[in-house]
């Protein structure tokens, strides 16, 4: 009986491992941005979040027509460059991937909140009567709130966490693939500090 149970348990372990239950979490310095990144990867998806300095956001959005007050609001809101991929074309059973940023949860100082999405920002820009071309430039710069990726598809853009520069937080990431919901928590992420690098330092 014990032998049968052990055989069954081993079969379950092998099944889970081949279906990509284990998620690889890594962190380090992004080679291109020269800023910290946090990455999730399993057999079906890859997500990399790279810090963006507030000074980068200021320059980017000033060039797109926002006023200084609006730019400062964005710069002080904790922005990450976001690269999300469906890598299941490399797996035995390719499958589409869907996500909704409204399902992601930020945990900071004992409180929980959601990501600040395109739609959240749109309410503010409409109230302030920001010009339509400027709003569109902002919308296209931000990561889409919802999307479906076929195997091999990917996208990138900025995600906003509505925290002060330097804040540390945990992020619960949720995505849907292989017929079910997946989630994992990235511990101890940190928003970029509000610093001005030397001119010879890469941004």
The per-residue pLDDT for range 140-157, each reduced to its tens digit, is 999 999 999 999 999 999
Domain count, the chain: 1
The whole-number pLDDT of residue 198 equals: 67
Longest dimension (CA), the chain: 73
Asked whether residue 14 is assigned to any structural domain, the reply reads no
Q: Residue 116 sits in which domain range?
A: 23-190
**What distance in Å separates the CA atoms of residue 6 and residue 24, rounded to the nearest whole number?**
27
CB 166 within 8 A of CB 190: yes
Mean pLDDT of all residues belonging to the chain? 89
Asked whether residue 132 is assigned to any structural domain, the reply reads yes
Asked whether residue 2 is assigned to any structural domain, the reply reads no
Of 145, 140, 154, which is closest to residue 102 (Cα–Cα)?
145
The structure's pTM equals: 0.85
Asked whether residue 164 is assigned to any structural domain, the reply reads yes
Which position has the higher pLDDT, 196 or 109?
109
Asked whether residue 76 is assigned to any structural domain, the reply reads yes
Query: CA neighbours within 13 Å on the CB side: how many for 24?
Result: 10
Tens-digit pLDDT profile for residues 38-91: 999 999 999 999 999 999 999 999 999 999 999 999 999 999 999 999 999 888
Asked whether residue 197 is assigned to any structural domain, the reply reads no
**What distance in Å separates the CA atoms of residue 47 and residue 28, rounded to the nearest whole number?**
14
Residue partners of 77: CB distance under 8 A and separation at least 6: 116, 160, 161, 162, 163
DSSP letter at 162 equals -
For residue 7, is pLDDT > 70?
no
Which position has the higher pLDDT, 196 or 84?
84
For residue 197, is pLDDT > 60?
yes
Asked whether residue 101 is assigned to any structural domain, the reply reads yes
Which own/partner pairs from 117-122 qualify as long-range (CB within 8 Å, at least 24 positions apart)?
A: 117/142, 117/145, 118/142, 118/144, 118/145, 119/145, 121/160
CB 98 within 8 A of CB 144: no
Asked whether residue 9 is assigned to any structural domain, the reply reads no
């Amino acid at each position: 009986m014990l032998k049968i149970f052990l055989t069954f348990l081993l079969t379950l372990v092998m099944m889970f491992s081949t279906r990509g239950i284990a998620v690889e979490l890594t962190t380090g310095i992004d080679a291109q941005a020269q800023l910290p990144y946090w990455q999730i990867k399993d057999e079906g998806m890859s997500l990399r979040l790279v810090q963006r300095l507030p000074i980068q956001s200021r320059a980017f959005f000033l060039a797109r027509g926002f006023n200084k007050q609006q730019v400062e609001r964005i710069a002080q809101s904790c922005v990450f460059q976001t690269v999300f991929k469906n890598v299941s074309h490399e797996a035995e059973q390719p499958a589409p991937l869907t996500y909704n940023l409204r399902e992601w949860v930020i945990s900071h100082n004992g409180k929980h909140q959601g990501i600040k999405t395109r739609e959240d920002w749109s309410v503010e820009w409409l109230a302030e009567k920001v010009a339509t071309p400027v709003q569109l430039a902002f919308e296209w710069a931000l990561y889409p709130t919802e999307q479906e990726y076929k195997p091999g598809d990917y996208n990138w853009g900025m995600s906003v966490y509505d925290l002060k520069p330097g804040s540390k937080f945990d992020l619960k990431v949720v995505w849907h693939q292989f017929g079910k919901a997946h989630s994992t928590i990235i511990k101890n992420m940190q928003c970029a500090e509000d610093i001005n690098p030397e001119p010879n330092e890469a941004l």
